[in-house]
Amino acid sequence: EAGVAQSPRYKIIEKRQSVAFWCNPISGHATLYWYQQILGQGPKLLIQFQNNGVVDDSQLPKDRFSAERLKGVDSTLKIQPAKLEDSAVYLCASSLGTSGNPYEQYFGPGTRLTVT
C-alpha cells in the first residue's frame, strides 16, 4: 500500500512570495489533515477535510493560507504572501475516518519550507 505522498520535499522562497504544497493521501482515506511543524515543536493542525468538505480550519491563518481538496482526493495548501514565521515543515496526513481505528493518522514525509 502506497503511503501519503507530498511534494515538493523542500522549498526556499523570499518573504512576500507565494508557495503551494501538494498532498496525495492513501487511497480510500476519507479524512485529510494539514499540519504545521515548527522546528522543535509538535505538529499543529491547520485544516482537516472529510472527503472534500472542511471539518476544522480554526487554526488556519486565513488571511494568507488557503487549502482545497478537489474531488475528495488530492489536496493543495497555499501560502500567499509568505512571512518569515511560516518557515516550518508542512505535514499532510490521512485517515480512514470510518471503522477500525478511524483516527490512526498516516503522515507523509513533509515539505520543509524556508522563508528568507
Partner 1 sequence: GENVEQHPSTLSVQEGDSAVIKCTYSDSASNYFPWYKQELGKGPQLIIDIRSNVGEKKDQRIAVTLNKTAKHFSLHITETQPEDSAVYFCAATTYNQGGKLIFGQGTELSVKP
Is 22 among the residues that bind partner 1 (CB under 8 A)?
no
Nearer to partner 1, 18 or 55 (CB): 55
Nearer to partner 1, 37 or 76 (CB): 37
- Rounded to the nearest angstrom, the gap between the alpha carbon of residue 26 and the centroid of all alpha carbons in its chain is 14
Is 28 among the residues that bind partner 1 (CB under 8 A)?
no
Collect all residues with Cβ–Cβ distance below 8 Å to 44 and sequence separation of at least 6. Answer: 35, 36, 37, 38, 59
**Total of residues contacting partner 1 (CB under 8 A):** 25
Which range, of 18-26, 60-68, 80-88, 102-110, touches partner 1 by CB under 8 A? 102-110
Which range, of 20-28, 63-71, 77-85, 92-100, touches partner 1 by CB under 8 A? 92-100
Among 61, 72, 81, 109, contact with partner 1 (rule: CB under 8 A): 109
Give one DSSP letter per residue of 43-89, joined into a string.
-EEEEEEETTEEEE-TTS-TTTEEEE-GGGS-EEEEESS--GGG-EE
Which residue carries 515548527 as its cell? Answer: 38
CB 109 within 8 A of CB 10: no
Residues that bind partner 1 (CB under 8 A): 4, 31, 40-45, 48, 55-56, 91, 93, 95, 97, 101-110
